[in-house]
């Protein structure tokens, strides 16, 4: 069984929105069109190696992961996954609303909620469970790539159960803005990125949709192939 194409369930900002343009410009890639995007001149002036800083997240586009990349299980198709997403979105739910802020998370910088959200944690857990039947079994190579020896026992259990260690209570919503950085560089870049984000004047963000993104081959970038909005609970 081929490991490609791979599919992921992401939150993507509405195409053409201010947040979409913000993320696409900073990463240099538009996940909807698949096109390169010029970096903000002020970022290149302040951070000459900005293209290198964003090499890793550029592959995925500006997104938040709700169901990590998977190869499809035998007998299942892309059309069926898209249909399942549309069906999932039709179930009325409380729409998570967050106040996004720029923070360091581990070794990288991301846009994250200022406070935990029960509705957002529930959405992520629902995505993990609802789309797991589409996931091909984790190969030994893929499991080893997650370096289980460095994970907690709970994370190893989730890796084996769901194919990804950072789910359920290990989940943390984030929209990545940089690759891995030493701590001193994080401090330098936080100010620059917070300044860029503040210009959007974005007080709150509704996580009101999911997107299916596809990666055709190893090393290629993910691209959106479908996006659906949630039906809000009345």
pLDDT for 162-206, tens place per residue?
A: 999 999 999 999 999 999 999 989 998 999 999 999 999 999 999
Q: Does pLDDT of 1 surpass 60? A: no
Token duo for residue 25: 């410009």
In a domain, 37, yes or no: yes
pLDDT given for residue 80 in this prediction? 98
pLDDT digits (tens, 9 = 90+) for 57-88: 999 999 999 999 999 999 999 999 999 999 99
Percent of the chain beyond pLDDT 70?
99
Q: Does pLDDT of 42 surpass 50? A: yes
What's the domain count of the chain?
1
In a domain, 123, yes or no: yes
Q: Does pLDDT of 214 surpass 70? A: yes
Q: Does pLDDT of 2 surpass 70? A: no
The DSSP line for 45-74 is HH-TTHHHHTHHHHTT-S-EEEEEEEEBPT
What is the dihedral sign for C-alpha 45, 48, 53, 57? Answer: positive
In a domain, 234, yes or no: no
The CATH number that applies at residue 178 is 3.90.1140.10
Supply the range of the domain harboring residue 26: 6-229
- How far is it, in rounded angstroms, from Cα 221 to Cα 62? 11
In a domain, 1, yes or no: no
Q: How confident is the model at residue 234 (pLDDT cuts 50, 70, 90)?
A: confident
Q: How confident is the model at residue 141 (pLDDT cuts 50, 70, 90)?
A: confident
Predicted TM-score (pTM) of this structure: 0.94
Distance, C-alpha 10 to centroid of its chain: 5
């Amino acid at each position: 069984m081929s490991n490609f194409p791979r599919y992921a369930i992401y939150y993507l900002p509405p195409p053409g929105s201010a947040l979409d343009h913000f993320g696409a410009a900073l990463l240099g890639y538009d996940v909807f069109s698949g096109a390169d995007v010029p970096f903000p001149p002020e970022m290149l002036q302040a951070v000459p190696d900005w293209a290198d800083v964003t090499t890793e997240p550029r592959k995925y586009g500006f997104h938040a992961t709700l169901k990590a990349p998977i190869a499809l299980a035998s007998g299942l198709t892309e059309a069926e996954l898209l249909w399942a997403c549309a069906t999932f979105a039709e179930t009325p739910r409380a729409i998570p609303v967050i106040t996004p802020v720029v923070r360091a998370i581990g070794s990288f910088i991301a846009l994250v909620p200022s406070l935990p959200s029960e509705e957002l944690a529930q959405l992520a857990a629902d995505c993990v469970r609802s789309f797991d039947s589409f996931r091909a079994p984790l190969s030994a190579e893929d499991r080893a790539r997650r370096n289980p020896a460095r994970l907690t026992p709970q994370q190893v259990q989730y890796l084996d159960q769901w194919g990804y260690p950072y789910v359920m209570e290990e989940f943390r919503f984030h929209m990545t803005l940089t690759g891995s950085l030493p701590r001193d560089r994080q401090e330098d870049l936080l100010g620059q990125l917070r300044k860029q984000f503040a210009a959007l004047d974005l007080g709150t963000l509704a996580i009101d949709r999911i997107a299916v993104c596809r990666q055709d081959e190893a090393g290629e970038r993910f691209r959106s192939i479908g996006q659906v909005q949630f039906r809000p609970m009345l």
